[in-house]
Amino acid sequence: MPEALVDVRWFIEGSEDEQMDQDDAVKVMGGVAHVVSTLSSDQQQELIALLGAMAAAETNPARREFLEKFPEGFGPIDDPS
């Protein structure tokens, strides 16, 4: 699941305005944010850990930075660090 969430957000954020309808992009991002917000605290922590592992293994610097900042994009994730 984390890979799919990351790929959706990576695609949307990397798309030019001409490539994707902005209203559709907002709807999809809202759906992703909703899924993340419904996770329990333990599930959120597991997601953060998985994202950290994905970032550590990523060889593309831009995608690594994106992965490191991914949880910040949804605000209410409880990051204990």
**pLDDT tens per residue, range 5-35:** 888 888 888 888 778 888 988 898 888 888 8
Contact between residue 8 and residue 16 where contact means Cβ atoms under 8 Å apart: no
Global pTM value:
0.73
17: helix, strand or coil: coil
Q: What is the rounded CA–CA span in Å between residue 21 and residue 64?
A: 26
Whether the CB-CB separation of 5 and 46 falls below 8 Å is answered with no
How much is the mean pLDDT over the chain?
A: 84
Tokens read off for 70: 């991914």
